[in-house]
Structure 1
């Protein structure tokens, strides 16, 4: 009796439920096999740099000779609330007076026309902008500058710094590890996913391999190497597979093209071999990773804590109690997914309101159809990942103990 208490008192909270050898070996063997498959997929699908460079060289962001000098705003003209009159062209409204701060024409002043929305964003003298400068028709002619964009890097760096500071201050070491995992995810997407898609690799396979690689690193980095994390990882990978299968069937069944916006038109013009339906499925899989990771780690932790607090529960009772927690989490997480997609599609929803057409009639449009499919496919994978993770965790933790074994 005394030995049992002292043994539990000296173990770390991550290991307060000792997993038997058989489930430990089975779970780690499965994860090891999937890890090897993921590494093999990365090697097989890793994009050919020469092929990607050929695609990039075939695309020009701007016409030859066009430059993008920096400038600082010196004067802001009033906003025209009606159609601009003759004075608008001379800079009396909807215009910025700027001073070029980079390039051969540094120090030059110019007046550039801008959309009313640009002025309404709160631009003031001293703010930075980026100009577009076509080559001059003749050496003695002034450059016809036009507005390209607003310099936002300073504000974004401050926002990023505030984000890191808040995460580290509140979550401490776990926050630091989460940021490391987030940085790794960005590297995988930028260095592997995007080049592989441009190189014409299977978008679905790229999405699955990248998602698995991200989840292995993110989960173990953030939550530590433990059987609890391993159970959550197994449930996450199962949810990724379900989301991919659901997305593939949904995209094909709804006949979505995946190329309904301006970006799709640009890609179709320069990358003829790109599978846009596969690209949409890949986007569905990657978009659901964060929420999926959230629910699976919560379910695995719930089962572990329940087993530690109630070692006499049968596996069926343990699963039932874990699912009570999971159902509450499912409800709140579905709201998160739907509201996230509603927020990204807010301008489209405003256009629908403007046209005053029934929503069901507008489901035939590509924009609305894509958002609905993304939300529903991600939600299906999320919901089914909860019982799957709970089952995996329930089978991994020890079975019920007799009352006389507890004390």
Structure 2
């Protein structure tokens, strides 16, 4: 009989599976124990931010613009000026609060970042009370309501992922939900409660990695290799980040957000927070690279079972180099895009370029990009080497099993041939009939049905029998 192209990949041999379980399970248990130890027990110190300003939803029903009144003369002796526009009033129907259903008038928002309103816009009102007369209050427009557009965008986002990824897309959405859950229930509350940001970020990232990778890609040997590669690269990224921030004497006060946070939460370690941000930011790119490298090794071994462990490593590393070359630019552009206002501000700085590059504001962005890239580069050989070892070990174990069956008397030579009145045995190569069929199938897919150069005629790609459906077989090594 011919090879079955629709069969799944063979399961991982028990010996290889035991080694992976003995390696991954203790790491997962240690991560869970560390999360329990570091889990925030309270909400941290109370922050007196004052009583919040009441905010209510409303809908714009009328906009009246008018000429802005002249301003008084400036102290420098200049003539009267004109106030920055636009000027006028906005009538809003209040939908919440004590004045729900009533029409109120507010001034047209002005100033930098003020929202531009029109009739039927759904906006957010803030109610301001006069300290001298608590009974007197006024409304001002704060911003637009963004709930409905964000919900529609999230729905389109989820539908696109599910439509393209199908069940894998559903798993990806579940992994995204798990990521937000860990960040919002463990990482942020733990740091906010005064915990050390670095260990919390490492443990939180490890939790996210275990949950997301296994949930999205399944409990397979290939996923376990990606988990080990990601975890090793995360630890290396943390060590490199610690050394780099210490060598450059970064304090963590390199942004306006960090400075503002220090005013409200003086107990937060901003230097540790910087390291935590580097680790969590690197995780999203690391799991992409490690999963890709593990899958590449598996696909190469499936397409050409004759490749040795070293050949698998070299071939997959070439793919990893191309991936890293594009990802490095992605990391730099991601940080540059997030810090674009800062970069524009620095371009207007009159200081020399060397002083700007070594300033706290820009130095921390350079350290972020460099450390994340170094951790990413280390992930390629680490994950590729682990995947090559696991794949070669699994193939060797499967080969020994096949030889054991042959020794029991199931060889082609012991079967009755045509001269004995038996069936003609299927043609076999030294690598096994299934191995040749797998390689022929891969060559057919890559070469469009033409025999590849360098292969004998009896190894040329074959087409599936007529009338038989051809489906793409999975290559994830099942546990």
Q: Could you state the TM-score of these two structures normalised by the residue count of structure 1? A: 0.87
Change (3 A) 1:78 1:178: farther
Is 1:70 matched up with 2:53?
no
Instruction: Out of 193-202 and 248-257, give the one that drifted further.
Output: 248-257
In the alignment, which residue of structure 1 is the partner of 2:468?
none
Is 1:327 matched up with 2:353?
no
| Equivalent pair of 1:284/1:374 in contact (CA under 8 Å) | yes
In the alignment, which residue of structure 2 is the partner of 1:217?
211
Give, in angstroms, the shift of residue 214 of structure 1: 0.6
Give, in angstroms, the shift of residue 223 of structure 1: 0.7
Q: Distance in 2 between matches of 1:386 and 1:215?
A: 17
Is 1:148 matched up with 2:142?
yes
In the alignment, which residue of structure 1 is the partner of 2:258?
264
Give, in angstroms, the shift of residue 358 of structure 1: 4.8
| Equivalent pair of 2:87/2:107 in contact (CA under 8 Å) | no
Give, in angstroms, the shift of residue 289 of structure 1: 1.4
Give, in angstroms, the shift of residue 45 of structure 1: 0.4
Q: Distance in 2 between matches of 1:294 and 1:220?
A: 13
Give, in angstroms, the shift of residue 209 of structure 1: 0.7
Change (3 A) 1:405 1:344: same
Secondary structure at 2:298 match in 1: helix
Would you say how many aligned residue pairs link Structure 1 and Structure 2? 391
| Equivalent pair of 1:20/1:398 in contact (CA under 8 Å) | no
What RMSD, in angstroms, separates the aligned Cα atoms of the two structures? 2.9
In the alignment, which residue of structure 1 is the partner of 2:36?
43
Q: Distance in 2 between matches of 1:274 and 1:365?
A: 22
Structure-to-structure mapping, 1:294-305, within 5 angstroms: 294-305=288-299
Give, in angstroms, the shift of residue 145 of structure 1: 3.1
Secondary structure at 2:250 match in 1: coil
- The superposition leaves residues 41-71 of structure 1 with CA deviations (integer Å, 9 ceiling, x where unpaired) of 110000012xx1x52x3332xx337312223
Secondary structure at 2:105 match in 1: strand
Instruction: Out of 30-39 and 392-401, give the one that drifted further.
Output: 392-401
In the alignment, which residue of structure 2 is the partner of 1:110?
105
- Residue of 320, 327, 336 corresponding to 1:342: 336
Q: Distance in 2 between matches of 1:70 and 1:353?
A: 40
Q: Which of the pair has more CA radius of gyration?
A: 2
- The superposition leaves residues 152-180 of structure 1 with CA deviations (integer Å, 9 ceiling, x where unpaired) of 11111111111011111111111111000
Q: Distance in 2 between matches of 1:276 and 1:123?
A: 39
- Residue of 229, 239, 242 corresponding to 1:235: 229
| Equivalent pair of 2:106/2:141 in contact (CA under 8 Å) | no
Change (3 A) 1:130 1:144: same
Instruction: Out of 223-232 and 126-135, give the one that drifted further.
Output: 126-135
Give, in angstroms, the shift of residue 30 of structure 1: 1.4
| Equivalent pair of 2:64/2:90 in contact (CA under 8 Å) | yes
| Equivalent pair of 1:88/1:94 in contact (CA under 8 Å) | no
Q: Distance in 2 between matches of 1:139 and 1:292?
A: 58
Change (3 A) 1:96 1:385: farther
Change (3 A) 1:171 1:362: same
Change (3 A) 1:359 1:154: farther
In the alignment, which residue of structure 2 is the partner of 1:404?
430
Change (3 A) 1:230 1:95: farther
- The superposition leaves residues 258-287 of structure 1 with CA deviations (integer Å, 9 ceiling, x where unpaired) of 133343233323333221111111111111
In the alignment, which residue of structure 2 is the partner of 1:284?
278
Structure-to-structure mapping, 1:1-400, within 5 angstroms: 5=3, 9=5, 11-12=7-8, 15-16=9-10, 18-49=11-42, 52=43, 54-55=44-45, 57-60=46-49, 63-64=50-51, 66-76=53-63, 88=83, 92-93=86-87, 96-106=90-100, 107-112=102-107, 114-116=109-111, 118=113, 123-137=117-131, 142-355=136-349, 358-399=352-393
Give, in angstroms, the shift of residue 78 of structure 1: 6.6
